[in-house]
Structure 1
Amino acid sequence: MSLVKTVSFGIYKKFFIDKFYWVFWGNRDEVEYLKNLLSLLKRKIKIKYIYSSDEINKIDYRLCLGIIKSDGVNYKNYSIQKNTINRYWNTLNLEEWLEKEIKILPHDIYINGINEFKLTLNLSEKNSLFNKINVSVKRIFDIAFSVLLFVTIFPIFIIINFLVLINDGFPTIYKQIRVGKHGSLFNIYKIRTMIKKAEKNGAQWSTKNDKRVLFIGKYLRKMRLDEIPQLISVIQGKMSLIGPRPERPEIEEDLKLKIHFYNLKHLIKPGISGHAQVSYRYGASVSDSSIKLGYDLFYIKHQSLFLDFLIFFKTVKSVINMAGSESI
């Protein structure tokens, strides 16, 4: 039966899943925005773009998953097709679709329609529904799992430090200042994966195939083993296992000036792994940070223990596949 199910699903995926698509009816600027966003995601979603009501007749209702509509487009001239649309397709506006299907809160779309106070209130109210119980249970889980994990992998931790020592000498562990909950500063500890004077010219983004990364460091980053010492910050209560990744204050000052609502990621504790890390590729630019913020805001709005477990298992999958972080 398992073999039959596997073969059946393989056939279904090959001939049917890839044929289904969403339809987006919006203006050209929004089309470019959506195309650019989807091209950067790990998950591939098929979308057909239309620009007028005449093109609705070309949609195959058997393969169309739904219609995404823009608030910036006048739809008065599609009244004839309206009953057909409501009969066959799920219709969502762009913001609803991004949050429901991509699991991202499109903060950059909200810029003209909502201010920071209103968005903050929205996130805080949603969060407060489960706040007391959720935070307490999450804290217990953070401490218990961090201690268990650190004790379990301590022999590996010793071996890794020895390999770094052979590769580039002392120190094998370094600390950095990061920005935490409500903008407070704290130290995180990481196994050193770069040469000793990697930042002699100041803080900078890490890039793909960065020449400053040690030979052993490349593999530690892929498996995220360089982040083992951060369990100390979790036990101290400065971080959580799951949450937005904390950024360095030097880089964050620049991001706050260029990205709307960036401060909102500090409504909760930062995490070793998070929704942005498992959903989006490694980012080393302001544009990437803006997209990652959308994932962080989605997590803040919808955070729950169930979502934490999903992110945790995706993180484990990422470690096993050696598709880990290249973060600075």
Structure 2
Amino acid sequence: MLILGRKYKFTPLELKRLNKKFDNINIVRCRNRDENEVLKELEEYTKPNDFDLLVLNTKAKVGDDIIKYLTSLQFKIKNSSFKIMTIEQFVEEFLFKCYIPENLNDLNYLTNIRPYNKFEYAIKKTIDYISIVFLWIAHQYFKPKVQKAMQEQSPGNLYFTQPRVGKDAQIFQCYKFRTMHENSEHNPYTQENDTRIFTYGDFMRKTRIDEIPQYKNILKGEMHLIGPRAEWNILVEDYEKKLPYYHERHVVAPGITGWAQVNYPYGRNIEDTKQKLMYDLYYIKHWSLLLEMKVIWKTVMVVVGKKGL
């Protein structure tokens, strides 16, 4: 695979995934370079005629000679599966997320971001009702274990509630098993080896056990089993100032687990939030029963000790 430009910078996790799909990944930088120099590098990479994908990933102006060369590649490359695609197409097809441009004048990324139709919503609700039964059983099983661990490690309330943002930006109270010591220092982001989290609380976070009480939110119609993560309303206010398109994820109800949660590590800054939003928008745009099953499977892998990422 050959990538022309560096408009979108791949994360280390994405490069790791792409290296499993492509034998070679070469990036040709365009910005602040002489056209002949760029053209010469392109020719060197394409000379073997054995690569099958060219990704256009540049926001720098491309010269006429480079354009002519690129348009002629379809005839020069002997590989019958060779194709050229934009970074927007590539990100959706191979990384399963929606590309969000830095230039907010381009609104193409909002295409097909819409609420579920009646048929899709009926399927979602069926999955929700089935999940409530299993989550209620899990809640009855884990509740005494959580209570015992809290008595030993962090006495206090069993549950933690917090205002979260749901569908159409409506605020609701989200239920969780408490994982932090009560009256801990206020910090919206958790850190590596966060001292506010007690030992069993850390275990619950890693296995998602702390999310089990949210079956109550599903029962009340505030959440689905699967959807974008329900975020704290204070954080959302900050996100929407820095990411003006962030509210698009609120066209659907949030979920206990979701496509972003099983594909990207826990967010610790605004860039992580943007990355997870790309996965959320992909989930909304490409919703299907198969995608729903994939999220459930990857979530199960997390619960049984696998990373799921």
- Determine if the alignment matches structure 1 residue 146 to structure 2 residue 132: yes
Note the C-alpha offset of 1:293: 0.5
- More helix by percentage: 1
The farther-off stretch of 156-165 and 68-77 is 68-77
State the alpha-carbon separation in 1 of the partners of residues 138 and 233 from structure 2. 33
Which blocks of at least 5 consecutive residues in structure 2 are unaligned?
Answer: 20-24, 30-37
State the alpha-carbon separation in 2 of the partners of residues 204 and 142 from structure 1. 29
Aligned to 2:54: 67
Aligned to 1:180: 166
The farther-off stretch of 151-160 and 272-281 is 151-160
Q: For 2:298, which of 314, 321, 324 is the aligned residue?
A: 314
- Determine if the alignment matches structure 1 residue 93 to structure 2 residue 80: no
Identity of aligned residues (%): 28
- Determine if the alignment matches structure 1 residue 103 to structure 2 residue 92: no
- Determine if the alignment matches structure 1 residue 24 to structure 2 residue 7: no
Cα deviations by residue, 1:283-325 (Å, 9 ceiling, x for unpaired): 1100100111011011110112211110110011112125489
Aligned to 2:76: 84
Aligned to 1:4: none
Question: Contact 2:263 / 2:308 at 8 angstroms: preserved in 1?
Answer: no
Which blocks of at least 5 consecutive residues in structure 1 are unaligned?
Answer: 1-21
Q: For 2:148, which of 162, 172, 177 is the aligned residue?
A: 162
The farther-off stretch of 150-159 and 220-229 is 150-159
Which letter does structure 1 place at the counterpart of 2:144? I
State the alpha-carbon separation in 2 of the partners of residues 268 and 299 from structure 1. 10
* Matching of residues 1-328 of structure 1 within 5 Å: 22-26=1-5, 29-30=6-7, 33-34=8-9, 37-41=10-14, 43-46=16-19, 47-51=25-29, 52-54=38-40, 55-59=42-46, 60-62=48-50, 64-70=51-57, 72=59, 73-74=61-62, 75-78=66-69, 79-85=71-77, 88=80, 89-109=82-102, 111-114=104-107, 120=110, 122-124=112-114, 131-199=117-185, 202-321=186-305, 323=307
Considering Cα pairs closer than 8 Å and 6+ residues apart, tell me whether 1 or 2 has the greater RCO.
1
Cα deviations by residue, 1:153-212 (Å, 9 ceiling, x for unpaired): 52223212221122111211121110000000001111111010114xx45211111111
Cα deviations by residue, 1:56-93 (Å, 9 ceiling, x for unpaired): 3433443x341101363534241554412485412111
Which letter does structure 2 place at the counterpart of 1:122? N
Cα deviations by residue, 1:131-158 (Å, 9 ceiling, x for unpaired): 1111012102101222233224522232
Pair 1:157–1:324, CA change in 2 (3 A): farther
Secondary structure of the residue that 1:321 maps to in structure 2? coil
State the alpha-carbon separation in 2 of the partners of residues 299 and 269 from structure 1. 12
Pair 1:269–1:42, CA change in 2 (3 A): farther
Secondary structure of the residue that 2:213 maps to in structure 1? helix
CA RMSD of aligned residues (A): 2.3
Question: Contact 2:99 / 2:109 at 8 angstroms: preserved in 1?
Answer: no
State the alpha-carbon separation in 1 of the partners of residues 262 and 221 from structure 2. 23
Question: Contact 1:65 / 1:90 at 8 angstroms: preserved in 2?
Answer: yes
State the alpha-carbon separation in 2 of the partners of residues 214 and 49 from structure 1. 44
Which letter does structure 1 place at the counterpart of 2:90? W
**Normalising to structure 2: TM-score of the pair?**
0.85
How many pairs were matched up? 288
